[in-house]
Amino acid sequence: MLGLLRSLWSFRAYVASSILADFKTRFVRSRLGFAWVVLNPLAQVSIYAFILSGLMASRIPGIDNTFGYAIYLLSGLLAWNLFSEIVDRLMKVFIANANVIKKVRFPRIVLPVIAVGTALINNAALLVVMCVLFALFGHPITPAILLVVPAALLVSAFAACIGMILGVLNVFIRDIEQVVPILLQVVFWFTPIIYPVNIIPERFHSLLELSPMFHIVDSYHRLVVYAQPLQWSSVLYIVVLVLILLPLAMFLFRRASAEMVDVL
């Protein structure tokens, strides 16, 4: 583990230059460039808001704002997008870089780090745009929103553990890449992101609460929408999961390292 961190540190220039390259590439390729990073989720919000706000508007409790539903959606998607982007990127990271892995000797751990870094920067851009929209909507931005930063880091750690496990397995069993998006869809719809939790009958709540994503999204809602204190049990739940999954992910990564290049 220490050796891993050390090699990561000595390749920090590569991590930085790769994240930078990712952005430059996006600027160059399309006319709107970097804007797509935020335009995509915003379009998603607009679609949900347009279709569902009529149904939901009256049912979002605790927000006294005409744009209540949009605010609720944005904060939930901020958390979800970070999680799903990291899982998706890490799941494919070794296969996408197969060529480099096979021919250049460098610590492979930098690849997932680069992917997480890129996703975090995308997420930061979305956070900034979200704050601008909140200002336009007249939603108060409290200092509690600063807690989104450590929250995002915790979400990244959790997503990175899952992504690493899937990414290692995906090198050997390529079906993973096909199954995971379906599972992500299922989790998405079973997490109160586009609907408030109160439309789900009370007796299913304990079931929903099993999902770590429920706690993550709920925490974001508390920080961003309601300016409520965090539920420490939610935070603890994610921290414990990270502490369990991280050793597993590192174990798989180290064990697979030797054979990974054989099958790539």
User: Which residues make up the interface to other proteins (CB under 8 A)?
Assistant: 10-11, 13-14, 16-18, 21, 24-25, 28-29, 99-106, 169, 172-173, 251-252, 255-259, 261-262
Question: Can you list the alpha helix ranges (DSSP code H) found in the chain?
Answer: 2-10, 12-29, 35-56, 68-96, 98-103, 110-137, 148-172, 176-189, 205-208, 212-220, 232-263
CA 223/CA 225 separation, integer angstroms: 6
Give min distance, CB of 174 to other proteins, in A. Answer: 9
Cβ proximity to other proteins: between 66 and 257 the closer is: 257
Written as six digits, the tokens of 72 are: 């609720």
The answer to whether 50 touches 95, Cβ cutoff 8 Å, is: no
What are the distances in angstroms from CA 161 to CA 30, 80, 229, 240? 32, 16, 27, 12
Give min distance, CB of 242 to other proteins, in A. Answer: 21
Give min distance, CB of 111 to other proteins, in A. Answer: 10
SS3 222: helix
**Residue located via tokens 């494919």:** 92
Cβ proximity to other proteins: between 59 and 255 the closer is: 255
Give min distance, CB of 205 to other proteins, in A. Answer: 36
Cβ proximity to other proteins: between 205 and 255 the closer is: 255
Give min distance, CB of 173 to other proteins, in A. Answer: 5
Written as six digits, the tokens of 243 are: 């502490």
Cβ proximity to other proteins: between 1 and 258 the closer is: 258
Cβ proximity to other proteins: between 20 and 186 the closer is: 20
The answer to whether 205 touches 88, Cβ cutoff 8 Å, is: no
Cβ proximity to other proteins: between 6 and 205 the closer is: 6
Cβ proximity to other proteins: between 55 and 248 the closer is: 248
Give min distance, CB of 88 to other proteins, in A. Answer: 20
Written as six digits, the tokens of 194 are: 């586009």
Helix axes 212-220, 68-96, angle to 10 degrees: 130
Give min distance, CB of 222 to other proteins, in A. Answer: 39
Sequence-distant (≥ 6) Cβ neighbours of residue 33 within 8 angstroms: 26, 27
The answer to whether 162 touches 238, Cβ cutoff 8 Å, is: no
